[in-house]
Chains A and B, each alone.
Chain A
């Protein structure tokens, strides 16, 4: 069965600092991988996804993630945090073969201080 682990339920950074949110997955086959963001009192928004091809994926708002099969990881990064990046971030996987529901991690809340 697939599972997703997000290391750190809370991450705090200063404005302008590097953002690194960690995600590891467990899957018998390489899955599709996603990062979603949820701003306060809003719905989920897709940040980026990896399906096939280039393992470094660029998303919206300057975020990117790299699929590392050997490490079963899909960490999310942004070189310079903005106050507006404060939100909850979810990593998710989808079975590439069955293509059904997403399996989510428990989320990481990102706080950005000035």
Chain B
């Protein structure tokens, strides 16, 4: 089966650093994605990991450990506009290699002044 877990809610202070964790179990792992989603809007691509290690992209970094089924998204120098839901998604290889994404429930991050 497939299961993706991430915390439901987090709160952090403007200018701080926050880490959003994600654990997963999937039958055919083919990469892990992080998306940002503001209320009522579409998911926006943030980062992608297929190999173990850290990928850095400006204020955002994402880490993957395939052996532990674990990833995190690190947001630095938090800004008020970072208040949003952060979605962890695993690309499932599946039987036909279609690359469908399996999403977690999302972590709602509230940034406070």
Partners in one complex: no
A: residues with CB less than 8 A from B are none
**Which residues from chain B sit less than 8 Å from chain A, CB to CB?**
none
